[in-house]
Structure 1
Amino acid sequence: MAILSTRSAIAAAALLLMLSVPAQAASEPAAKLPPGPVAGTSLPQSYVHNLAKMAYIWGWPMVNIHNRHMVFSKVPENGLGDGVLPVAPLNRLTMLTDYIQPEERAVATPNQDVVYGFGILSLEKEPVIFQVPDFGNRFWVYQLGDQRTDTLGGAGRMYGTKPGFYMVVGPDWKGKTPKGVRGVYRSSTNIAYIIPRAFLDDTAEDRRAVQPVVSQILAYPLSEFDGRMKTRDWSKIPKLSDPAGGKQGSGAETQWVKPEAFFKELPAIMKEVPPQRGEEALYAWFQSLLDAAAKDPAVADTLAKAAVEADKEMMTEMHRYSRAGVPVGNGWVAPMNGAEFGTDYYSRAAAAKANIFVNPRRESAYYGQEFDAGNARLNGANAYTITFPKGGLPPVNGFWSLTLYDDAHFFAPNEIKRYSLGTKNKDLVYNPDGSLTLYVQNARPAAGKLANWLPAPKGDFELFIRAYWPKAEILQNNWTPPPVQKASAN
C-alpha cells in the first residue's frame, strides 16, 4: 500500500502542476528567434568590407560545390573530361579503371592508391540509387557528402556495408523506400556528391582483378531502378572536353570559386543550403549584406573587392597543409573533423581549399608535412629520409601511403611515374632491424634503394600520409608520423 500511496501522490502533484500552468502556455509555439538586422540600416564601408571577408570564408566551400554542380549539369554522357577526369551527367557517376592520371587538376591532393569514381547529385529531381558490388577482401569506401562537404553517413568495408542497392535522398523527400534497397542516406542539401574508392595494388594482376568489381559500381536515378545489378565497361567510355572549360595538366586546381563573382553567387547558396540548427542569426547577418548590395552599387562593389582581398590574403594561406589541421608532432599536421565540420567554418574552408573531398577521420586519417626535422622547407635541392621503426607503420585496418605533391598539391612529374609509396607496393625493402626507410629526393638513388624511392621535383614540395580505416592508436592520437630527416643523396 505504501508504494501505491507514493505513486498516487506523484500523480496528484503532476496534475496540480499542469493545472497551475496558464492555458496559453500549453499551446504556445517554440520560442521565436530574436530580431535580426534592420533593413535599410546605413552600413559603414569598413563594416561591410570586414563582414564580407567572414562571409567569404563561410560560403567558399558551398560555392565551390555549387559551381561543380553547374559544370556537371552540362556533361552530356559518362566520360573522361580531357581524357583524365571521371565526369558524368547529374545523378550518375563515372568510374576510372586505374589510378587517376597525374594531369588531373579538378581536385587537389588526389589519391594514387585507389580506383576512383565521381558523381554530382541533384536530389531535387529524384532520389539516386547506387550499387555496391561484392568487394571480397578488397578495401573500399564510398564517400557521400552534401553541399557543405559534410558526410551523409558511412558506406564501406569498415562499416560492414553489404553488397546491394542503396539510395540517396534529398532533405524534403517523403517517398517509400523501394523493395530491394538496403539503406537510405539523406542529404541535408539537394546538391550532393558520391565518390567511390576501391583499393588497388600496384600490380598488373590486381589491375585485372579489380575490373569486374569496378564494372558494377554505378549510380542512376531512382526511376531507372529495377532491382537488377547493372554493369558498365568503364574502359570503353568517350573522352570529353574538360567540362570546366580549362586544360588539365598544368598549374593549380581548377578555379571553382572566382572571388569577383562570389557575392553574385552567394544568394543562390543561401537558398540551396538551409541553416544548421543555430545558424539562423548567421544567415540573417550575411543576408543583410546581400540586401544592402542589391540596393546600393557601392556596397556591391565593396563586397566584390573584399572577396578578392580575402581570397588573396586568407585562402592562399589556408591552402597550406600546415594550416589545415592540428599539429601532432614532428612537423606533421592532421585535420581532426574532416567531413564533419559542424560550425567549424575555418576547418571546412581550409579543407575545401587544400583537399576538398576529405573523408571522415574514422574512414581516413591524413597528415600533411611541408618541413624537415630542422624546420626548413622541403625542396628538391635536398634529399630526405623517412624511417618508420619496426612496428611503427601507420596503424590501419585498410591501407596507408606516403604521397608527394608539388606546392599546388598535385603530383610532381618524374621519370618513373611514381607518386606514392605504401601498402600498394609489394616490393618495398625493409632494413635488417625491421624498420622501413623511404628515400625522398630528386636524383635517382642507388639500385638498392630504388624500390623505396619517392621522386621529388627540383622545387618546393609537400608530403602527405593517408591512413585508411585507422586503428585506435590514430583515432586517439597516440601515433605520430616519423620526422623527415635531411640526408645525403645517394
Structure 2
Amino acid sequence: MTIDTALDQRIAAAFTYAFALHDLARTRWLFTQGPGERAAPPNRLHHNRRLLNHRARQVTMPNNDTLYSSAWLDLAGGPVTLALPDMGARYYSVALLDCFTNNFACLGPRTCAPGVRTFIIAGPGHAGQVPAALPADTMLVRAPCNDVWLLARLLIDGEPDLPAVHALQDAMTLAPASASPNPLATTPDETDPAAYLALVNEALGRNGVPAAEREMVAGMADLGIRAGERDAWRQMAEPVRQAWTRLYPALRRQLEQPPRSQAQHGGPRVSWQSGPDHIGNFGSDYAYRAYIALVGLGALERAEAIYSTALVDADGNLFDGARRYRLHVPADVPVNAFWSLTMYEFEPDGRRFFTANPLDRFAIGDRTPGLRRNADGSLDIAIQHAGPAEGSANWLPAPAGRFSLALRYYHPRAALLGHAFRMPDAQALD
C-alpha cells in the first residue's frame, strides 16, 4: 500500500485510532444481536460450558486453559451488581474492558481478597456509592464508559473438571439496573468503509471520547470520525470518500503485521515477542492497540498474564507445518499460577484460531497430564503436523501450513515482569 498524500496519512491514522473501538463494537453486536441462538442481550452472563476447539471462530486467539464467562454491559441505565462464589485455590480472573479494549479493572485473587465477593460496576454517569444492603466488603468499580466487556476466565483441568467449573459458573450472578439496555443500531460490515465509520461513530456517541483525545478526534471530523453521527459518510467531501474507498482494503490488511511499537526487550531476538509492557492498557499507542484487537482481542494486562507469541523459529524462518520443531522448556518457569503453550492456524484475514488434530489438543503446559520430563525437570515439546515417532505425550499438533505459537504466563513472577526470563526459541529439526 502506498500512502502518498497528507490526506492518505490522515485517513490511515484515523482508521488505526478507531479500529479497536470498531472491532469491539462489532464483536459486541455479534454476541448480543447477531444471528443464531447464542446471541444474548446485554447485562446478562453467558457461560461457555465446553472447552473451546477448532470450531470456535468468534474471538481470535482463544485459550484452552480456562472456560470463559462473559457479559456485554450497558451501564447507561445504571450500574450492575456482580456476585462471585468462593473460588478456593482455583485461578480465575474477571477482566473489565472499556470500549477501546483497555483493561480498567481485573478482579481476581491477585487484586481482591479470597472468598465470596460482590462488586458494583458503574458507568461514568453514576454518582452513587455502595448501597447499605450489600455486604460491607462490596467493591465499587467505576467504568470510564457505558459499553463494557466483562470477560471472566476460570481455570479448568480438562474434561473431568467440567462439572466443578460449571458449578462455579452457575453461582456467578449479574444483576442489572432496571433500565433496558440499548442495542446497537449499526449492522457491522467489515468490507465497507461507510459502515466502518457508522459503527465507530455510534460507539463514540454511546461512550464519549476520552478527554485527552477530544482535540485529536475533533480534527478527524472532515474524515468522517464524528461521535454519534452514523451518516457521516454522506457529509464528507467526495475526495475524502474516494480516498477512504481506495485505502480501506489495504489498511485492514496492514494490521496483520506487528507495528514498530511492538519492540523486543533485551536485544535482537527473532522468535518470542511479548511486545510493549502496556498491552491491555494501551494509552496513546493506537497502532499496537489495533494490532492486538485483530490478533488477540481481550488480552489481559501484563501484571495478570504475559502473552508471548512466536511466528518464526530460532533461525528466523516462518513456522511451517511441513517441518518439525522442538521447544525446550526449562524446569522452573517463573509463574505463580500456570503457563501454557497454544497452537494457532491463520485465517485469510490474519485472525488466529485452534487447528483440528487427532488428539484434540490445542495447548500444552505445566498441567498437561502424562508429560515426559527430562531428569532435570525440563520439557522437550514436539511441534509438528504428524505424530512424533517417540509418542504423543509431549506433542503439540501443528496444521499443515503456516502457524503461530503463543505462550501464556499467568501471574508472572519478577523474572518475567522484569524481562530476565526468556523462553528458548523453537528449533527446526529438518
Q: Provide the TM-score with structure 1 as the length reference.
A: 0.76
What's the secondary structure of 2:353's corresponding residue? coil
Distance 1:130 1:330, change over 3 A: same
Which of these residues, 223, 226, 229, is aligned with residue 289 of structure 1? 223
Native 8 Å contact 1:202 1:424 kept in 2: no
Matching residue of 2:256: 316
184, 188, 198: which is aligned to 2:154? Answer: 198
* Residue 327 of structure 1, CA deviation: 2.1
1:47 aligns with 2:6: yes
Q: Which letter does structure 2 place at the counterpart of 1:431?
A: N
C-alpha distance in 2 between matches for 1:189 and 1:124: 9
Q: C-alpha separation between the residues in 1 aligned to 2:113 and 2:27?
A: 28
**1:220 corresponding residue in structure 2:** 175
Q: Which residue of 1 aligns with 2:52?
A: 100
Which residue of structure 2 aligns with residue 333 of structure 1? Answer: 273
Quote the Cα distance in structure 2 between the aligned partners of 1:137 and 1:295. 56
1:396 equivalent in structure 2: 335
| Contact 2:77/2:178 (8 A) holds in 1 | no
**Identical aligned residues as a percent:** 26
Residue type of the partner of 2:120? M
Matched residue SS, 1:429: coil
**Distance 1:132-1:191 versus aligned 2 partners, 3 A rule:** same
Q: 1:436 aligns with which of 370, 379, 398?
A: 379
Closer/same/farther in 2, CA of residues 159 and 425 from structure 1, 3 Å limit? same
Name the counterpart of 1:151. Answer: 103
TM-fit CA distance, 1:275? 3.3
Q: Does 1:456 align with 2:395?
A: no
Deviation at 1:373, TM superposition (A): 0.9
**How far off is 1:99 after superposition?**
1.4
Q: Deviations over 1:376-435 (max 9, x none)?
A: 1111111110012333x2x11111100010123111100111010013313211012322
Give the secondary-structure state (helix, strand or coil) at the position aligned to 1:222: coil
- Output the CA distance in 2 between the equivalents of 1:304 and 1:184: 45
Pair 1:305-2:246 in alignment:
yes
- Find out whether 1:137 has 2:89 as its counterpart: yes
Q: Tell me the distance in 1 between the aligned counterparts of 2:190 and 2:40.
A: 17
1:121-159 CA distance string (max 9 Å, x none): 111122122221111110000111010111121201111
In structure 1, runs of 5+ residues without a counterpart are: 1-44, 82-86, 225-243, 246-253
2:343–2:398 CA contact under 8 A, matched in 1: yes
Alignment of 1:43-192 (within 5 A): 46-74=5-33, 81=38, 87-162=39-114, 163-178=116-131, 179-180=133-134, 182-192=138-148
1:229 maps to none
Amino acid across the alignment from 1:365: I
Say whether 1:481 aligns with 2:418.
no
Paired with 1:199 and 1:96, the residues of 2 have a C-alpha distance of 13
Q: Evaluate the alpha carbon distance shift between residue 375 and residue 126 of structure 1 in structure 2; reply closer, same or farther with a 3 A threshold.
A: same
**CA–CA separation in structure 1 for the residues paired with 2:66 and 2:87:** 13
Is the Cα–Cα contact under 8 Å of residues 344 and 405 in structure 2 kept in the other structure? Answer: yes
What is the rounded CA distance, in whole Å, between the counterparts of 2:339 and 2:196 in structure 1? Answer: 37
Give the TM-score, by structure 2 length. 0.86
Gaps of 5+ in 2: 180-185, 227-231
Contact 1:88 1:94 in 2 (8 A): yes
CA distance in 1, matches of 2:386, 2:308: 25
C-alpha deviation, 1:60, in angstroms: 0.5
Indicate the larger mover: 451-460 or 270-279. 270-279
Aligned mates of 2:141, 2:192 — CA distance in 1: 31
Question: What is the CA distance between 1:191 and its match in structure 2?
Answer: 0.7
Look up the SS of the partner of 1:387 in the other structure.
Answer: strand
| Stretch of structure 1 that moved more, 297-306 or 337-346 | 297-306
Instruction: Give the aligned partner of residue 268 of structure 1.
Output: 202
Shift of 1:444: 1.0
The one-letter code sitting in structure 1 at the alignment partner of 2:12 is: K
| Partner SS, residue 273 of structure 2 | strand
TM-aligned CA distance change 1:106 to 1:353, over 3 Å: same
Q: Could you tell me which of 408, 412, 417 is aligned with 1:470?
A: 412
Report the counterpart of residue 211 of structure 1 in structure 2.
166
Letter in 1 for 2:208: P
Q: Does 1:376 align with 2:321?
A: no
Aligned length: 402
Structure-2 change in CA distance of 1:306 and 1:75 (3 Å): closer
Displacement of 1:268 after TM fit? 2.4
Question: Residues of 1 paired with 2:169 and 2:83: CA distance?
Answer: 10
1:419 match: 362
Once residues 198 and 107 of structure 2 are traced to their aligned partners in structure 1, the CA distance between those partners, rounded to angstroms, is 36
CA contact (8 A) 1:442 1:458 kept: yes
Give 1:381's aligned amino acid: A
Asked whether the 8 Å contact 2:383–2:395 carries over to 1, the reply is yes
Q: Which letter does structure 2 place at the counterpart of 1:88? A: A
Q: Distance in 2 between matches of 1:177 and 1:74?
A: 31
Q: CA deviation at 1:324?
A: 7.9
Per the TM alignment, residue 481 of structure 1 is displaced from its structure 2 partner at its CA by: 1.1
- Equivalent-residue separation in structure 1 for 2:189 and 2:307 (angstroms): 24
Asked if 1 retains the 8 angstrom alpha-carbon contact of 2:189 and 2:196, the reply is no
Once the two structures are TM-superposed, the CA of residue 52 in structure 1 deviates from its matched residue by: 1.0
- Local SS of the residue matching 2:104: coil
Greater helix fraction, Structure 1 or Structure 2: 1
Q: Is the 8 A contact 2:96 2:151 kept in 1?
A: yes
Contact kept in structure 1, 2:121 and 2:140, CA below 8 Å: yes
Q: Distance in 1 between matches of 2:84 and 2:171?
A: 7
Structure 1 position 185, deviation (Å): 1.5
Contact preservation (8 Å) 2:51, 2:67: yes
Is this contact kept in 2: 1:330–1:480, CA < 8 A? no
Alpha-carbon RMSD across the aligned residues, in angstroms, is 2.6
